[in-house]
A = this chain, B = another copy of it.
Amino acid sequence: MKTLVLTAEDIKTIARDIGLDRIMDETIAGLESALREYTATRYQSPMRGGFDYRSPAPGLIEWMPVMEDEQSATIKMVGYHPVNPAHRDLPTILSITLNIDVGTGHVNSVVDGTFATAVRTGAASAVASGVLAQPDSTTVGLVGCGAQAVTQLHALSRVFPVSGVLLFDIDAKAIASFAKRLSIVGLDKALRIQAATPDDIMKKSDIVCTQTSVAVGDPPVVNDVAALPHLHINAVGSDFPGKAELPASLLHRSLVCPDFTDQAIQEGECQQLEDDTLGPDLVELIQDSARFQGHRERTTVFDSTGWSLEDHVVNRVLVDHARRLGLGQQVRIETINEDPRSPYSGMTRLAGIAAADAREEQGS
């Protein structure tokens, strides 16, 4: 009984073969479809759990589980360490995702979750924006220009006629390198990309995405300035108690839709709202989208804390392509002996080694 191990290189091969646009499109479509079919009996998705600490670096290690009834459970292990890019040349988010067969407990696959997290977080914003933003949105504002900004913009560009991008980051290098990082999906040439202040971004954009590593207790990363009346915001960076990217006044005058309410009221922008002022969650938004499209004329916020259902969907996209292309290694990780009641089968100590030990003991 083997486990598929899918590495960074395998994922690169998938991307080179089918293209990043198709990976993003399939993730968006897969997520929409999962949300449309979602019921509380079809999926179990408890809140993620995690460890948080200040040392040796400020960080979080979290586990994000979801189970699709009668099918499989996906559990993503994800580390969030904001000093990684500057201090260690590593992504802020590092992750591995396991998928487990519900019939036997066998681990079907062990897959990189780093690339997948960036893709599915973009896809989730595209899905929410598809309901809440104006369909002819052309200007996207990005506050925070790290890894997640690339996939936010990529995802939105698959759903909206984006032509202009306004950028802000506290790190000038992140702004300077952004166009180059977009070149892989051809958006560097297709879009007019300009640096801007957070206030200008808020005033001029049809859709704003905030994906910062805002620290607990820090002020919001944008101000509640006079924005376009139909502004839709995807708030991606707030995912911890005490963190907030958006000012409370902005939230109070907006329809705020959490991805996963229980989590968003503890870790997301929804921390700043009373429960009775929350908008629909992502499931309700998609299952009753006609009703909520009326909000396209007013300010709306998607409070994206990250949901295991999204991980389940993108992981399936990657694994399905890997199996089709024959990628990845099939590895027998779990100890499964011929007699399932015999944990020690085949573990007899090699006679030569035991004899050498005995000689050593005699000699000592």
Minimum C-beta distance from A51 to chain B (A): 4
Task: Name which of A135-143, A156-164, A197-205, A335-343 contacts chain B.
Answer: A335-343
Q: How far is the CA of A112 from the CA of B337 in the complex (A)?
A: 13
Q: Check if A229 is an interface residue, CB within 8 A of chain B.
A: no
Is A217 part of the contact surface with B, judged by Cβ < 8 Å? no
Complex contacts, A42 vs chain B, CB 8 Å: none
B-side contacts of A91, CB under 8 Å: 335-337, 340-341, 343
Give the Cβ gap from A124 to chain B, nearest Cβ, in Å: 15
Q: Are A341 and B146 CB-contacts (below 8 A) given A8-B334, A105-B61, A353-B16?
A: yes
Task: Check B96 against A333 for contact (C-beta < 8 Å).
Answer: yes
Residues in B whose Cβ lies below 8 Å from that of A340? 84-85, 89-92, 147
In the complex, the answer to whether A331 meets B7 with C-beta atoms within 8 Å is yes
Q: Does the CB pair B100–A79 fall under 8 Å?
A: yes
Complex interface: chain B residues within 8 A of A112 (CB): 333-335
On chain B, the residues within 8 Å of A337 by CB distance are: 91
- Minimum C-beta distance from A211 to chain B (A): 11
Contacts of A151 in B (CB 8 A): 343-344
* CB nearest neighbor in B for A148: B343
A191 contacts B by Cβ under 8 Å: no
Residue-wise interface mask of A (227-268) relative to B, using a CB-CB cutoff of 8 A (1 in contact, 0 not): 000000000000000000000000000000000000000000
Partner of A94, one of B89, B105, B147: B105
In the bound complex, residues from chain B placing their C-beta under 8 Å from that of A336 are 8, 90-91, 94, 114
A181 touches B350 (CB 8 A): no
Query: Is B341 a contact partner of A85 (Cβ separation < 8 A)?
Result: yes
On whether the beta carbons of B118 and A104 are closer than 8 Å, the reply is no
Docked-complex contact B332 and A8, CB < 8 angstroms? yes
Q: Would A106 and B79 be within 8 Å (CB), given that A17-B350, A150-B342 are in contact? A: yes
Check if A362 is an interface residue, CB within 8 A of chain B. no
- Among A70-78, A270-278, A289-297, A309-317, the stretch in contact with B: A70-78
**Listed stretches A28-36, A52-60, A218-226, A279-287; interface member:** A52-60
Known: A91-B336, A334-B94. A102 touches B15 (CB 8 A): no
Q: Choose one: B111, B341, B345; the contact of A174 (CB below 8 Å).
A: B341
A110 within 8 A of B: yes
Question: Which of B12, B61, B73, B100 is the one whose CB lies under 8 Å from A102?
Answer: B61
A172: Cβ under 8 A from any B Cβ: no
Nearest CB of B to A74, in Å: 10
B181 in contact with A335 (CB, 8 Å): no
Q: Known A98-B96, A100-B61, A181-B339; judge A77-B75 contact (CB<8 A).
A: yes
* Nearest chain B residue, comparing its CB with the CB of A110: B110
Interface residue A39 (Cβ < 8 Å from any Cβ of B): no
Q: Assuming A150-B343, A336-B114, is B349 touching A103 (CB within 8 A)? A: no
Contact of A107 with B by CB under 8 A: yes
Docked-complex contact B103 and A59, CB < 8 angstroms: yes
A54 to chain B, nearest CB (A): 10
10 new A-B contacts, CB < 8 A, other than A12-B346, A63-B65, A150-B342, are A5-B333, A46-B49, A56-B103, A81-B105, A90-B106, A95-B105, A119-B343, A146-B341, A180-B342, A181-B341
Closest 5 CB pairs between A and B?
A: A79-B105, A15-B347, A118-B343, A115-B335, A94-B105
